[in-house]
Structure 1
Amino acid sequence: MKITQVEAIPFAIPYRKPLRFASGEVHAAEHVLVRVHTDEGLVGVGEAPPRPFTYGETQESIITAIDKLFAPEVIGSSPLEREAIHARLNRTVGNPTAKAALDMALWDVIGKSLELPVTDLLGGYGDRMRVSHMVGFAPPEQMVAEAERMRDEYGITTFKVKVGRNPYTQDVAACRALREALGEDVELYVDGNRGWTASDSARALQEMSDLGLTLAEELCPADEVLGRRWLVQQCTIPFVADESATRPAEVTRELLGGSATAISIKTARTGFTASQRVLFQCEGLGVEVVVGNQVDGQLGTMCGAVFGAAHELTSKRAGELSNFLDMRDDLLTEPIRIVDGTVPVRRLPGIGVEIDPEKLAHYRQDR
């Protein structure tokens, strides 16, 4: 089996409301669908969500990287030659989500060719992932209302609270309102998207020490090396590296340098192959992981669930798998369902999803 064609298709689906966090704001899912075709008629799919304020990628740059740099390196190869393919892709620096989407599309092809789910090929640990929901910037009463709706409608009991505004007049008050409204049975953790200073972070965490927070993620920039290490020494809960740990070497740097004590794994930026490498690093070093989300659509969300369910360590925590609910529509023929606070992995070959051709025709931006 040989790869005959690689497509990079831009599409845009509006959000129900703008998504706001410390590093930026998005109004629509302007993503790229990656399709890998083979000479046996199989087609693998992956989703690349651009995040220019995090990785420097745009929809246009992803398409260009795939069309001009990556497709010529993989056409004519077998999808099973993953190591050789990645060696060629990695001659080009950066472009993490473009590489990740191509990697996941290759795994999708391999699963379909073997008639096996990718989650079984990756590890086969479980058949579902518990869901964590991200609560974005809004007045406290609106954040509470959203969390209560997610709990009551979908059975979600883990919430990631976006912070990174003014910690004293907004963020701490929002976290306290959520805890008071939701009670002690709900898990809360915070993500600053690099919006606080180290000193603000330390003070805010101290003020929230009675709220039972379970994780603190990227509260201040990774470039503030000494301040960040100082903060981690003060932190009584796992401090999660996310944007600062986008590849295995950065994971090593953050953990061994004392700038983090846990890692967020996002298949949208490390695919399945590099995500496994990061996961095995974390297992070997004895640190916790959380399956994160790049505000993925349903295809990307299913990839996160497939990866998380495949391994024991990623299954221990709820994965961030509900952001697609903020989108007005999606591309899949069968939408993802959150059942009792979990996303079940589909027992189908490959990733387990199919693209609806009519929806793709409606939302694609290159025609």
Structure 2
Amino acid sequence: MKITKVEAVPFAIPFRKSLTFASGEVHVADHVLVRVHTDEGLIGTAEAPPRPYTYGETQESIVAVIGKVFAPQITGLSALEREVIHARLDRTVGNPTAKAAIDMAVWDVIGQAAGMPVTELLGGWSDRMRVSHMVGFAPTEQMVAEAERVRDTYGITTFKVKVGRRPYRLDVEACRALRTALGDGVELYIDGNRGWSASESARALREMDDLDLDLAEELCPADDVLGRRWLVSQTRIPFVADESAPTPADVTRELLGGSATAISIKTARTGFTASTRVLNQCEAMGVEVVIGNQIDGQIGTLCAVAFGAAHRATTRRAGELSNFLDMADDLLTEPLVIESGTLRVREGIGLGLTIDSDKLAHFRLDR
């Protein structure tokens, strides 16, 4: 089961509706399809979504680092030599989504070779997850209409509301309108993408104290160490580290330093291997986790639910698994389906995915 080739195929699929938030705006899924080939004919598949405003990666840089650096370093290794693979990838700093995609594609190969679903290899806790839907910046009435449509169409009852605008009362008004329209039976939480200062965050949270928010995520800048600690010390709801905790070491620093009380795990940036390490850290420290979303397409979403459903701790909260609904198309032969507010793990060995060759030919950018 030797690795013979690592492909990095750039593709672009437009969104029907852009997602706007404090740190950026996404109109097109300009992602990279990553495939790991072996001498036994097995092909593992994953997706790398570049987020230059968060990690500094671009589509071009992901293709380049995989093709010129990572592929030569791991070609010839067995897919089972995961620790060796990671040691070689980690010689190069940064590039988290490129590394994560290779890791997940390798796990897909291992699952296929074992004749088992990856989610069973990872833990096998469940075959599905409850779904949370992100609501991005828009006029308040549009945000409410989107949430109501998603609830009524897909049965989703957990919503992550993007905040971080100035003045902050724009977001307070939107959250209040969402709570009024959706009622008490819906879970609401907020994500600032580092858009507010610590003091703005504190004022906004005070004004939303009666809205029964479940979580608050990355409201202020990650490098405002003292401000974050001050904010977390007076926040009564779990404060989630996301962009500030992209590695296991960052998770340790955020939690021990008092800058967070919960962690967002994103398989798009930590794959399955490092995500497991982060989850184990959090379980050992009694810290809650949520499965986050890197504005993934269906391939990335399938990876996220495969990991999230595998563990008891990650199924306690709804996972952010619905961003692909806003994409105009995707690369899978069999699209993902959200029913009754849940998304099932794909049946079959490995990750259970098959790429539609015609769609890939249409959307790829390198031919």
TM-score higher than 0.5: yes
2:339 counterpart SS class: coil
Aligned residue for 2:319? Answer: 319
Equivalent residue, structure 2, for 1:251: 251
Partner of 1:276: 276
Contact 1:298 1:330 in 2 (8 A): yes
| Structure 1 segments unaligned to the other structure (5+ residues) | none
Provide the C-alpha distance between the structure 2 equivalents of 1:177 and 1:344, rounded to a whole number of angstroms: 31
Q: Secondary structure of the equivalent of 2:169? A: helix
Matched letter for residue 331 of structure 1: L
C-alpha separation between the residues in 2 aligned to 1:237 and 1:27?
A: 32
Secondary structure, in 3 states, of the residue corresponding to 1:171? helix
After superposition, give the CA deviation of every residue in 1:252-272 in whole Å (9 maximum; x if it has no partner).
Answer: 000000000000000000000
**Structure 1 match to 2:196:** 196
Of 347-356 and 260-269, deviating more is 347-356
Q: Deviations over 1:345-364 (max 9, x none)?
A: 12210011110000000000
Runs (4+) off by over 6 Å: none
1:117-196 alignment runs, 5 A limit: 117-196=117-196
Alpha-carbon distance between aligned partners in 2 of 1:279 and 1:182, rounded to the nearest angstrom: 31
Contact between 2:169 and 2:204, CA under 8 Å: does it hold in 1?
no
The answer to whether structure 1 residue 113 and structure 2 residue 113 are counterparts is yes
- Report the count of equivalent residues: 367
Listed as ranges, the matches of 1:208-223 within 5 Å are 208-223=208-223
Q: Distance in 2 between matches of 1:142 and 1:159?
A: 14
Q: Deviations over 1:146-202 (max 9, x none)?
A: 000110000000000000002543100000000000000000000000000000000
CA distance in 2, matches of 1:242, 1:168: 20
The residue that corresponds to 2:231 in the other structure is: 231
What SS class does the counterpart of residue 184 from structure 2 fall into? coil
The answer (yes or no) to whether the contact 1:167–1:204 under 8 Å persists in 2 is: no
Mapped contact 2:13–2:329 kept (Cα < 8 A): yes
Aligned residue type for 2:198: A
Matched, 1:353 2:353: yes
Deviations along 1:189-240, whole A, 9 cap, x unmatched? Answer: 0000000000000000000000000000000011101011000001000000
Unmatched tracts of structure 2, length 5 or more: none
CA offsets per residue over residues 259-287 of structure 1, 9 Å max, x none? 00000000000000000000000000000
In structure 2, the partner of 1:307 is 307
Is 128-137 or 164-173 further displaced after alignment? 164-173
Q: Distance in 2 between matches of 1:99 and 1:200?
A: 36
Distance 1:169 1:77 in 2: 54
Q: How far off its partner does 1:343 sit?
A: 0.4
What is the deviation of 1:79? 0.4
Matches of 1:99 and 1:299, distance apart in 2: 16
Whether contact under 8 Å (2:131, 2:321) holds in the other structure is yes
CA distance in 1, matches of 2:197, 2:238: 18
> How far apart are residue 65 of structure 1 and its match?
0.6
The corresponding residue for 1:64 is 64
- Report the Cα distance in structure 2 between the residues aligned to 1:208 and 1:352, rounded to whole angstroms: 42
Aligned to 2:79: 79
Partner secondary structure for residue 274 of structure 1: helix
Cα RMSD, aligned residues only = 0.6
Aligned to 1:41: 41
The aligned counterpart of 2:344 is 344
**Alpha-carbon distance in 1 for matches of 2:17, 2:52:** 20
Separation in 1, partners of 2:94, 2:314: 25
Query: AA paired with 1:267?
Result: T
TM-score of the superposition, structure 2-length normalised?
A: 0.99
Match of 2:287 in 1: 287
How far apart, in 1, do the equivalents of 2:343 and 2:71 lie?
32
Deviations for 1:79-105, whole angstroms, at most 9, x for unmatched residues? 000001101110100000000000000
* 2:82 matches 1:54: no
Matched with 2:12 is 12
Whole-Å Cα distance in 2 between the matches of residues 167 and 180 of structure 1? 21
Taking the aligned partners of 1:85 and 1:234, their CA distance within structure 2 comes to 43
The question of whether the paired residues in 2 share the 8 Å contact of 1:333 and 1:355 is answered with yes
Task: Find the aligned partners of 1:167 and 1:183 in 2 and give their Cα distance.
Answer: 25
Shift of 1:26: 1.4
Aligned residue for 1:32?
32
Equivalent residue letter for 1:257: G
